[in-house]
Every structure is written in structure tokens, then in C-alpha cells.
Structure 1
């Protein structure tokens, strides 16, 4: 902005302030003063507008040509409000700065090395040299975004909104925009194409467990085993996400006939304190060991609970019981800025997406309102260890243990619908 432009801005702002104070204090008693004031402000505005248009035509002739010389008509009140917002640059400055800082914080995670030269979700802060859990950091950045977006969209009725209790056909889901907008939340630093998010391809993938007789088929574990709920008891892991995993294991084994390993190892509590710096790396090592010892395992479930603002309660009612809502989660190993993240290879992204989509559609069919939109993030989250790898964010810290336990019943049901083809074991 030129010095002359700044001076004109200051003058116009000053006049607006004086007029505002006068109107508030004494009122406008005659039309002549209002007309004169308006004429004065309008003249200054035209002068400022001329400067701006001249600058636009000089610096951005293409934009100026495309926009043309369209003029807007404002009432006096609208004009004053428009000028006040336009002349107060702090808003746009803060907005730009916030977006810039978020982008830099997210980008730094892709360019830095972890301890020992290995890359995963546990990264090194470039400024301090200390390790941090990138998944946790990104979760904090997006703490409420998913829930807020869901609520805003649910409040808008429209013909393209998913219908509760509906079984969607492949032809309907073939519309990429419909599929993405209604079933997914995509983190702002990643993206997904129609080639990858192809409903026909994903729904035609057979996610059924192939061998029910040769050993355990399902592994459940918790990268963040210390995640608790509003009424969790300190020191009692049966009241944390681990206890919830126990109940899911019981349901899958006793009700549906699967053989399940529930790994309860702790990866986020080191030397007597919460420490997620190496949680994903430590979990990967242990899961790899379990898979080597149990090659029959086809399905891996990393069961988490989400983190939301304290005023948010992710709960619905299923079969007359208060039930925590849950969300399926995918990592894409892709950032908008750098493209494919080579140091986080995942040959099973397509299979991961197929599993989560088929589960989401089963939820829509049998338990409308129970599952939140599938969340797509930019990293990998150990979903590369098996084609049928799944990360579930069940409830949040504001849910009760009862609500969480209740959620495992429909979750086990839809898992069986997809993994067992809907044929219940006798």
C-alpha cells in the first residue's frame, strides 16, 4: 500500500469515526447534514477507489479485465460498515498469519528426520531437537475441526445428504463429490483423487477373512493405551481404552466366533509419565513381532478414543442405550505440498480405504447417526502392516465408560458384516 493510499485510508477512517460518534450521541436531526456527510464520505471513497482501481489495472491487468468496471450500490449504513471492515487490515493480517503458521507447522513434519534415521509419525522438532508425536500434534491442530464441520453440515438439509438407514448403491456413490462431501473429512494439508476414492473399486474389494481355522484372525492393540474417559479410574486400565478393547475382543470371540489377540502393551507411558514421543514406532515394532508369530492374522485394529473440546459430547442412542459415536480413520501418505510421502510407504492404502468405506456404509445401513465421517489424514499411522488395517477413534474424553462399552456392540456387528460377510457363526 502506497503512502498516499494510507493517508487517504486514515482520513476516511477518521471521518467515519467522527460521523459515528455524532450519530450515536446526538442523532441526525436533518436530512441536509446526512446528505452532506454522505457526499463527503462518498467523494473520499471514490478517490480511494480510483487509486485502488488504478493499482489493480497496473499490477493485475488480467484480473481487472475479467472483473470489469462493475460498481456496487450501498446504503449509507452498508457503505459505512463496508468501509470500516475494509479499512481495518488487522483482520486479514491475523487470518493470513494463522493460516501460514498452521501450514509451516504441518510442513515441518514432512521434512525432518526421526531419531535413528527412521521416519514415521514420531518426528523431531527442528527448533528444539526434541521428539514429538506428530499424530498428537496434528490432532491438537485439528482438535474440533472434524466435529464442527459435521455439525454444520448436519444442520443443512439437502437432497445430497445421506439418508438415515439407507443402503447406498454403487451407482449413487460413483459421484465423487457426493461421496467425498458426505462420507469424508479431508485434512487441509492432504487430498484424495477420484482415481483413489473410487466407490466401485473400493466396494468390490473382498474384505472377508479368508481363513477361519488356522489361528487368530484379528489383532487389537492401542498405540495410545492411556486414553481414558470422564469417569476413568486412575491406575485401572479396565476403565481406559484398553478395557474397551477387552469388551470388543469378547464380543468378536464369543458372539461372532473369531480368534482375537488383544495386545495390551503400553507404548505411550514411559518411565512413569505420559510420553508419546515414540508411541507409533514402538507399537510398530511390537505389532510386527506379533504378525511374525501369528501369520494367520488378517485384520489389525488400532483402537483409540478421540480428543474434543470439553463441551462436546459424542453420543447417540442405539437400542435404547447411550452410545459413543465412533469414526474410521485413514492415512494417505500424501501431502498437498510434497505429494507422495516416500518415507512412509503404504502399499495397502486402497485396501485400507475399502475397509473403512465398507464399514461406514454398514453403519449407515444399520445404525444411522452412530459413525462420524471417515477422517483422512496425510501420514500413515501403521496402516501399512496389513491390507485390512483399521484405525478407529471411538468416542472422546468426554464420554463415559458405559457409553464407550455400548459402542463396541454395534462396532462388532458391522465388523462382522464386512469381515464375515454377514453370516453369523452358530
Structure 2
């Protein structure tokens, strides 16, 4: 349960206004100018008038000057003598992105829970066993259904409706979804140095599948990430896998701070490995129990995937400054190039890119990617098959 925390900004403002009122009353009572000389008399009238309105309303004569309650009248007088207070009060109303601590906590909690079912599973601390068999090549299948010519992609409505799902809480325009810009940003990396180039991790390590074995991380999203790591290494792309657990607190599933916990651990890994250029947060989605996200590729049942972008912007709050991400356009470029490659090589493998309002740690690196692979209704086999296809797609985009 989240504890209530006092809003420091509101407390400071209230204290400031209280001081203004005290000084305002002092001036009102003592005078100091020709106008102030009459203020004690006017104040007395207002106070008596308010008392009469409360206790003897039938005898009240409404003086046009003092129809307002005493507190309102005194406040107006203070603002007359101290206009700075009124300026600060009015300015706070119009400042953008000014949110109290409770609102910030609520937004971060929404970010943590987006699109996932809450499941209580094992603690995920066991080592992930190394898989013995690594398949390297999944040949392209079928023909793309969508027209992916640059001329067609320049049609914003076509691009948006065929390649994206925009959550109702956020919005995006053609200035951000400019295909000439997004497709011309190079995602290529040089794997020849032998140093790590890709980092894979899991903000939600406890996500499992239809036939996962409770307590066995090799059958959870962590095991699926380990298989993807092996596939990429087999393709000559040095990849490391972080198996840290960020959604278990005191032995209980708790995703409320999972993204913040993950960032705190991922940043030191990036600092220790400056050669890393690509960061992938691998998830599995949460869907209705009757939904099965599966297709057939190379004769194998294969879980579908979805690329996911955070825009750090909501309709209600506009740009969210405390979720600032300088790499939003690079993130969008990476996901769009992956989407087009997926549709070109393996039509039907990738669902449409999902755009949501928060950040999801995509600010860690320009080439950051959040992937929702399959869902809780997929089998481990379907997920492993999906990683073989995903590894081919990553190789195509990053190496060529």
C-alpha cells in the first residue's frame, strides 16, 4: 500500500501565503498610508458583517462593498498590498507538468503495470541452464501483405493505421512519424570487436507461459531471454544477459517500482560495458485466456511479438518532464525498422507497434527496444521458435 505523502510544494505555498496574511493584517491594522488609515474601520465592518450573516441572517442589510465573506475580502486586500503573492498563486495554475507526488507515483505505477497480468510465481533466483541446441537460420517465408514503399509510408494515415496502435492516453503526429527520418537513421553495429554489443534484461522476470514449470526460470521469460542470447552469440553478435529480478520485493510479486529497480541495476552494467549499443527489455504480454498469439513460420508454431514504444507524453499531462527521454526518435526508428524487417521476412510475425504514454527505460540507449513476445497463453516451444525468428530479424537490421 502506498503511504500518503504531504505535497511539499503545496505546503511551502500555504506557508508563504500564511506569512503574507499575517503581514497583511499587520499593515491593515496599523495603516501607513492615507488609504491604510481607513482600513481598520473597513476590516471591522467586514468582520461584523460576516458574524451577522452567520448568526442573524434575517437582520442583514447587504452592503455592496462587503457582500463577500471576510476571508475572501482579507485575502484580496493582502494581494492588493502584496501583489507577488497573487502572481505566484496564478502562475502555479498555468505552469505545465506540475504534478504532486501522489500523481507522479500513480503514473509510475501505471507504467509498471501496463499491459501485463499480475501473476504470483517462483522467486526467479535460480540459474538459467544453458540450452544445448541453438538453431541459427530461419529462412524467410511468404510475401509481405502491406505496401512498404516509401511513397506509401509517407502517407501518415496509412502508416499509422497499418503499423501502429496508439493508446488512448497518448498521441503522436506526422512530425514524429516521419518515415524519411526514421528509416534513414542507421541501426547498424560492428560486432567484429568481440566486445558485448547487446544487453538483454527483463523488467518483469516472473512472466510465465501456458506450460511453464513453477520455480523453473528456464521455462519463464528469463529462460526465453537466455535462448535469444545464445542465438545472437551464435550469429556473431556478442550479447550478454542480465537475469536480475526487479519485480519481487520481500518475497512477493511487486511491480510498482520494477522499472526504477531495473534502471538502477542496468546502468552500472552499461557503464562497465561501454561497447554495448543495443538494450532489449524482453517481456511477454498479458491477454484474455481465449487469445492465442501464434502463427506458423517454417512449419513451426511461433508466438507473435509486438514492439513497444513509450512517448513520455499523455493527453492529460502533455510531455512528462520527469520521464524525459532524449532518444524517443531513435527508439521509434529502431522499432519501425524492426517492424518493416519482420513484415518483409516473416509476414504475420509482428503485431502492430504499440505506442504508450510513459518511458519504460527506453531512455537508457538510442537503440533501446521493448518487446512483448507472446503471452501467457503461449507455450514455451512457441516462444523459443519466436526467438529464432527474432534473432534473424535483429541480425538483418543490425548487421544486414
Query: TM-score scaled by structure 1?
Result: 0.63
2:115 paired residue among 110, 121, 139 = 139
Alignment correspondent of 2:182 = 202
Counterpart of 2:101 in 1: which secondary structure? coil
2:101 paired residue among 91, 113, 120 = 113
Alignment correspondent of 1:338 = 317
Q: Structure 1 171/363 Cα, relative in aligned 2: closer, same or farther at 3 Å? A: same
Q: CA deviation at 1:311?
A: 0.6
Distance in 1 (alpha carbons) for counterparts of 2:100 and 2:116? 19
Distance in 1 (alpha carbons) for counterparts of 2:287 and 2:354? 14
Q: Is the 8 A contact 1:167 1:365 kept in 2?
A: no
Distance in 2 (alpha carbons) for counterparts of 1:110 and 1:407? 43
Equivalenced residues, count: 279
1:257 equivalent to 2:248? Answer: no
Q: Structure 1 368/110 Cα, relative in aligned 2: closer, same or farther at 3 Å? A: farther
Query: TM-score scaled by structure 2?
Result: 0.67
Q: CA deviation at 1:335?
A: 1.1
Distance in 1 (alpha carbons) for counterparts of 2:243 and 2:113? 24
Q: CA deviation at 1:337?
A: 2.6
Unaligned runs of 5+ in 2: 1-96, 118-142
Q: Is the 8 A contact 2:307 2:371 kept in 1?
A: yes
Counterpart of 2:225 in 1: which secondary structure? helix
Q: Structure 1 337/132 Cα, relative in aligned 2: closer, same or farther at 3 Å? A: closer
Larger radius of gyration: 2
Alignment correspondent of 2:155 = 175
Counterpart of 1:194 in 2: which secondary structure? coil
1:365 equivalent to 2:344? Answer: yes
Q: Is the 8 A contact 2:306 2:352 kept in 1?
A: yes
Q: Is the 8 A contact 1:306 1:393 kept in 2?
A: yes
Counterpart of 1:223 in 2: which secondary structure? coil
Q: Is the 8 A contact 1:167 1:364 kept in 2?
A: no
1:234 equivalent to 2:214? Answer: yes
Q: CA deviation at 1:168?
A: 1.6
1:400 equivalent to 2:376? Answer: no
Distance in 2 (alpha carbons) for counterparts of 1:357 and 1:323? 21
Alignment correspondent of 1:356 = 335
Q: Structure 1 338/124 Cα, relative in aligned 2: closer, same or farther at 3 Å? A: closer
Counterpart of 2:192 in 1: which secondary structure? coil
1:106-133, CA deviations, whole angstroms, 9 ceiling, x for partnerless residues?
xxx994437xxxx9xxx535xxxxx973
Counterpart of 2:295 in 1: which secondary structure? strand
1:380-399 to structure 2, matched below 5 A, reads 380-399=359-378
Q: Structure 1 271/132 Cα, relative in aligned 2: closer, same or farther at 3 Å? A: farther
Q: CA deviation at 1:262?
A: 0.1
Structure with larger RCO (C-alpha < 8 A, sep 6+)? 2
1:298 equivalent to 2:277? Answer: yes
Q: CA deviation at 1:210?
A: 4.0
Unaligned runs of 5+ in 1: 1-108, 126-130, 142-162, 422-426
Distance in 1 (alpha carbons) for counterparts of 2:329 and 2:189? 17
2:296 paired residue among 317, 322, 346 = 317
1:256-275 to structure 2, matched below 5 A, reads 256-275=235-254
Distance in 1 (alpha carbons) for counterparts of 2:115 and 2:193? 39
Q: Structure 1 110/178 Cα, relative in aligned 2: closer, same or farther at 3 Å? A: farther
